[in-house]
Structure 1
Amino acid sequence: MIRNMKIRNKMFVAYACAFLLIFSVVGIVIYALVTNIIQESIESELSRTTEMIQNMVHTTADVSIKNYMRAVAEKNLEEAKQLYRQVRRGRITEQEAKQRARESFLSQTIGTTGRIYCLDSDGIMVVHHKHSLLDVDLSGLPFVKEQIRRKTGYIEYDWKEPFEKKVRPKAVFMAYFEPWDWIISVSSYRDEFIQLINVEDLNKRLFSLGFGKSGYPFVLDYDGKMLLHPYLEGKHYGEYGDPKLSAIARRIVEEKNGHFDYLWKNPGDTELKEKVVYFMDIPEMGWVVASSSYYEDFQAPLEAVKFIFIGALLVGLLFMVPISMGIGSLITRPLNELQIDLARAADGDFSVRMRQFSNDELGILVQYFNTFMEKLEEYSSSREKEIAVRRDAEQKLIAMDRAKTLFLASASHELRTPLTSILGFLKLMEKSFQKQFRSHIETLANGEVQAERFARNLSIVRIEAERLGRLVNDLLDMSKIEAGKMEWRDQTLLVQDIIVRAAESVAGRAEATPKVDFVVRTPESDAAVNVDADRLHQVLINLLDNAFKYTELGSVTLSAVEAEGVSHFSVCDTGRGISEDDREKIFDIFYQAHDVNKRSSQVLGTGLGLAICQQIVEHYGGKLKMIPAESGGSCFIFSIPLSDKEIV
């Protein structure tokens, strides 16, 4: 039905639905935000009030404790002064005065377990009820250091007696009697002074912190007795007469810190109402302070938001009807003409141009469309020319690649013949020099040096010629692989035989490096693979040759393991390893890893060996991978599918 309606009606329906949807979403979001703000306001206010109560109790306790302990310390200081005055008058000896002071100090108890003790300026205990601590140097204790530094005043620290399981806050007030160098210290645990707090005075100050219409703070002790409360003061939660209300107070006492919602009924209320409470404990006093309030005290703004939203929705709907109809008629009139021109453009007529009938958004759209069609027409023409140019360039690139491949194959083949002759004559020259000429040259003046230099230079020429030969062979193999002309003479071979042949081929190299152990591990089964023996041998020899090149001490391991229908070949060494930057590039053509040990003058390569090995392994559906060895070297691993054919 909607699909067949006129556009102006569709627009009205669309506008109405969009308006209702947006207005509803916005209203819900606003309502949720206001609710959240009110909730956060309640929680913030309750939390802040609870912290204020906690701080107020702490402050009251601090003042009471300090005043009490100051009075005790000053009283005992005055007693010491009176005894000292008697010494000055000659009535008693100083030793008798000190003894009387000790007896007086030790006879006093501060709180439940608190005592009076005295230290001198060096931290030596001169008065203490425990004889084992007398004349003991306690200057290493942090709080004693502070007492020595200050000598007078109030300090707090955490302390645990040997028989106690946890530390507790302790308070000390100090007075200094200079003639005897005594720091008179009145000491006790803070939690033993709860009786010093004036609850009545605290009650007046707490209830001045009320908020909302019904919010108020209250205080419980750890035993569940209500110390401060507008209605329940002095009652234990077991005496409320309502199990539900008692359970709320019990939960506050058990959790000690936190907040939660609950249902509560104050005297005079007819029903339970939702309430929230925030509470914190004061461990040294065994109190839990809390602040609570009814949620209904904060609901008035939500009702106002609800009525404003409904009124705005009705007014918006009334104004929307004529506006949507008028806009619809302005749009539908020019659309018929636009449809005709768009249909021509859609059929591929890039020369079509629309007639501009206004300067509004539709008129601007016509300008953009006409500009687009001009660009499209130009692009269509240039694209055809570009396609022709690219096609010609592609043909030239193909021809150049073929020429490169043919050149490498031809040049490599032509270079192998003279290089073979050069290597033969160089080996013959080395042999003849050693057997026939060297002994004659060494008889001449400075002949030994000249002979050795000649032999070394001849060896360098031979080594470089062999390297050039390997490069030519690698280039020829690479060109054959790229051209798809590599000949593969596959046959079924035992994996054991492949490993043994490779090991025998590098036996001489292994003997020439006595500091490197050559380890060969062959599979115990008669596993076989269908491969070109020479090509697979080429891969293993190349990997082994690289392993011996870059391993000066340790071991080189050649192994093959059968698993899940494939044979895993690996060559591992304990050499210098390959840096992380080079691991992804070592299989690229002509790439050589960075020589971190600066052995470039000793270890040379063509940069083609690993690339050719990768091509050979990929021919058999495998992938040559390099992983760092646990010993710090490198492991090259590849897999070849096992063959189910019989060995010929």
Structure 2
Amino acid sequence: MLRPADSRIRTKLYVAYAGAFLVIFLVAGGIIHAQVRDMLRRNIETELDRTTEALRTLVRSSVDVSIRNYMRAVAEKCLDEARSLHRQVRRGRLTEAEAKDRARRAFLSMTIGRTGRVYCLDSQGIMVVHHKRSLVGVDMSGMAFVREQIRRRQGYMTYEWKEPLEAETRPKAVYMTYFEPWDWIISASAYREEFGQLVNMEDFRQRFFELRSGESGYPFVLDYSGYLLLHPYLLGVHYNDYDSPGLRTTAERIVAERNGHFDYMWRNPGETALKKKVVYFKDIPELGWVVASSSYYEDFQKPLDTIGYVMLTALAVAVLLMIPVSFGIGALITRPIATLQESFSRAADGDFSVRMEQHSRDELGLMAGYFNAFMERLTAYSNDLENEIAHRRETERELIAMDRTKTMFLASASHELRTPLTSIIGFLHLMEKNFRTRFLPVLGPLDPVGRQARTFEKNLAVVRVEADRLGRLVNDLLDLSKIEAGRMEWRENILSVDLVLQRAGEASASLAEDRPGVRLVVEPLTEPMGILADADRVHQVLINLLSNAFKNTEAGSVTLSAVRTGAGATFSVRDTGRGISEDEREKIFDLFYQGRDENNRSTQVLGTGLGLSICRRIVAHYGSRLEVDSVVGEGSCFRFTIPFGEREL
């Protein structure tokens, strides 16, 4: 037989609260009478606030659509005029110059609001029609919004504009149409602050009054000067013309504050008594309007009064019943939970041997069983984790030792190889020079030994080139080992960026000679700059990037430049070569990685795969990052930033 102690907790709670809830259900509102009253008022005020925001959004969107349609009509009217004049040109009735002149006069005669005008640009950004003659023929393509107009040619857009004598920019809107035969972008523009003068209120009047709060509430719109633009009873009336001083005070406060809410007394037309209302209002600065939403307090006062009578009657009974019931149910639940809490506390302190006794088969009894099973598994996991940690620590020590051995080997091998290799390269250069200057002149052009000598000269050049390449590889390995071991020497000095660019350009002149179809461009600085860096390391990075650019460029140009960005000088090397695919843009910085050549030119651009990795690590020393942007088939751009010195040159 099921004991009461074995019953489910929900059954215990149901039995304990069933009788009390039958009474409380009838008088439940009494306990929270005051809270409900405040809550309902807050809800009404929140609804009014949201309604006001919705009204402001509706007005803004409606005005924007209305103005967009108005400006579109003006722009399309101008387009129709241009088409009409162009037809007369094709029929021989007008010359094209006469037609364009008439179009200009027609466009300039049109106004949009107080200061709105029509102007025309061509696809190069040249102003062809403007009411200010000083701007006609001027190249406006340097302005961002003009470039956007050239790109889009048609449609609606907004931008910021400042007249020559004004201190700040103001938002402006333009609608564009494009007349292709004359390459004219016909633009109807106006300041957004003048939109209020161009709007037809009837376009959104019905939708505006559909958004209301309560049964008797309604919205309205005032402008900053105090005229009612939208109101169910008063329209086009200034607050000075109201027949009530109190109403004038209300309107003056709304116009003065523009955003907020307050209570006031109001009497609708045809009524005799003043009634209390609340109004929420927000302004639309670009139009000079204030949108407001109001509602009478009586809309929510009556249901509150009804609830209040019931809640006051039930208050005393609910308090008396809830106290003993709460204590009884709490005792049944809290004792097992306290035991569970103590067990969890011991487990949290590291005692995984703690277990709980199961006194019942209810939820708390099942929880005790789950807790014991959890502790068993946690103990097993803890042992496994300790073993895994010990194994990983041992593996980590082995890997660190292997990495240290590898670094020492690279440093030692590179250093030992560089000395004899330097001698070999020097003797190869000397042999090549002596062979060319002393031996070949002795042989006449008809000497049979001359052909073999020229073959020997070519082979000697191949050996010399490969020896140079091997020397670069050894130097790269030595630099890499120094960087990884933290033993790289940095000779920081204040450097002139102009001299850094000049030195790199001169050192890369031979690369340009080897690529007749590729032009080396060193862009001059717009202003002097000085950086704090190791001259040899910065030069090493630039030469490596320039060398890679020439290797990967068959025709076009390789450009070296530097610009001021933030607290440093940003260097960039751009080429018009084969580009780098998106999946390789990070791999090329990995050690020994050589990029794929989609055009099978691998033999021409073969490298060691160390240069870019070393360059990125050098740049990282200065708190920067070597990055690349590239488009396959169009070229690549590598850039990095070196911080300025304490004083710039």
TM-score of the superposition, structure 2-length normalised? 0.47
Q: Which structure has more RCO (C-alpha within 8 Å, separation ≥ 6)?
A: 2
Name the larger-Rg structure.
Answer: 1
